[in-house]
Amino acid sequence: MDQGPPPDVTNVSVTFAPRPDRSARSPTRDSRAGGGSQESSPLLAPRGLEFEYGGFENNYPDDPLYQEVVRMSEEAIDCGRYPERIYQGSSGSYFVKNIDNKIIAVFKPKDEEPYGQLNPKWTKWLHKLCCPCCFGRSCLVPNQGYLSEAGASLVDKKLQLNIVPTTKVVRLSSRTFNYNAIDRAKATTKKNIAENFPQLGKRFHRIGLPPKQGSFQLFVNGYKDADYWLRRFDYEAIPESTARKFQTLFERLVILDYIIRNTDRGNDNWLIKYEIAQVDTDNSKGDSDWNMVDNPDISIAAIDNGLAFPFKHPDEWRAYPYHWAWLPQAKVPFSQEIKDKVLPQLSDMNFVQELCDDLYKLFKTDKGFDRSTFDKQMSVMRGQILNLTQALKDDKSPVQLVQMPVVTVERNRSSSGRLRTDSDSYTQSFSHRTPFFSWC
């Protein structure tokens, strides 16, 4: 894997004074970092159910709503409402149901990702086997898509963009997931022994299929692929106030994608909900037609964020453009509203450091975590934030933003290898390569 510096760069050193009381928090991971024992977990299934599926430890005390959805999905699995594979997907993704068979979440197990050991798509497996150098994206850490999904949600929450359905790392087990034959045989044997010889069965640490770690994203109802609505908006004008709201939501999507350097934002990977106006039967407001209806409401959801947080800028950038850059909304300069919302935070190096610290807490939980690769991921993200901040200050549009030369901002360590405490120094590396189609 080529992790060398991008060609044609200029290095600049900058020093920032840190805020003394920097206390990083990670609302998504703190509960897990504590490692709550299985025995004391309030989510332990009753003995009979735990017997079959094992006891899990999905605790999110900071987010009771999310906790409730995870609990509902565990309960549904216990009752035989198993997650269902999303067949059009590129890897193992599952619609998770509640006990009434309603979809409540999307679960993507780590080991069923394209690079995962148990990816269920044989075409992907063949591709990986026969043509490994062309498989995957060389700028991304392989097999950490589930962290990228949760990381996107973390960035979304930290900046209060509110466009990513809450996504965290969850452990689930279901017979509909892809397991290898050995795991299935082990589970069946243990179950048979435990049923026939209960005394012996008590000695098993866990009975049932092993839980899988993956991203668990809340399902949003009433949305359709952005592509569907964007095509309709081409020939069906939308009222001005709805269009204005759409513009501000679109800007949030741009901010998110640019910061996390999403390499997979096609118009099928974000959703739009467009609620046609309700007819008001009370005609007392006046006789104009528009007075009788409310303007349609619009919302967006940024899903499928698993191919972001690269450790270097893509060499093959033409293959991974931000597809929203072709939309007419991308030609409009960023609004004052979005500038007021994100500029104070993004131009504060302490805020950016807190964001990196929160992502560190999340990413380090992966078995394959590598600190130097993570630092490179954060260098790319800091560079993206630097460009974005400048673009917002200069009244640029999203199209102009993606045309800026890319930059990485590396946080330097002291010679002893430890992070500096008195001051932080950063090295900026600018690439002179044009980052985007010049005709766009």
> At residue 155, what is the residue type?
V
Residues in the chain: 440
CB contact at 8 A, 132 and 348: no
- For residues 179 and 117, give the distance between their C-alpha atoms in angstroms, rounded to a whole number: 10
> At residue 398, what is the residue type?
P
List Cα–Cα distances, 379 to 166, 196, 350, 402, in angstroms: 25, 57, 15, 18
Q: Rounded to the nearest whole angstrom, what is the least distance from the CB of residue 388 to ligand ADP in the complex?
A: 25
Of the two residues 62 and 225, which places its CB atom closer to Mg ion in the complex? 225
Which residue's beta carbon is nearest to the bound ligand ADP?
A: 89
DSSP strand E in 295-401: where?
297-302
Phi (first) and psi of residue 131, to 5 degrees: -140, 60
Q: Rounded to the nearest whole angstrom, what is the least distance from the CB of residue 132 to ligand ADP in the complex?
A: 21
Structure tokens at 382: 């800091």
Structure tokens at 123: 């075409």
Q: Rounded to the nearest whole angstrom, what is the least distance from the CB of residue 261 to ligand ADP in the complex?
A: 18
CB contact at 8 A, 423 and 19: no
* Binding segment (CB under 5 A) for Mg ion, from list 119-127, 266-274, 338-346, 359-367: 266-274
Rule CB under 6 A: which residues touch ligand ADP?
A: 86, 89-90, 93, 106, 165, 217, 219-220, 223, 225, 268-269, 303-304
Of the two residues 49 and 86, which places its CB atom closer to ligand ADP in the complex? 86
Q: Using CB under 5 A, which residues numbered 125 to 154 contact Mg ion?
A: none
Of the two residues 272 and 381, which places its CB atom closer to ligand ADP in the complex? 272
Of the two residues 145 and 383, which places its CB atom closer to ligand ADP in the complex? 145
Of the two residues 53 and 223, which places its CB atom closer to ligand ADP in the complex? 223
Q: Rounded to the nearest whole angstrom, what is the least distance from the CB of residue 271 to ligand ADP in the complex?
A: 6
- Which of ligand ADP, Mg ion, none does 30 bind, CB closer than 5 to 8 A by kind? none
Q: Using CB under 5 A, which residues numbered 269 to 328 contact Mg ion?
A: 269, 304
Of the two residues 268 and 348, which places its CB atom closer to ligand ADP in the complex? 268
The C-alpha angle with vertex 202 and arms to 201 and 204, in degrees rounded to 5, equals 70
Is the torsion defined by CA of 123, 125, 131, 137 positive or negative? positive
Applying CB under 5 A, the residues found at the interface with Mg ion are 269, 304
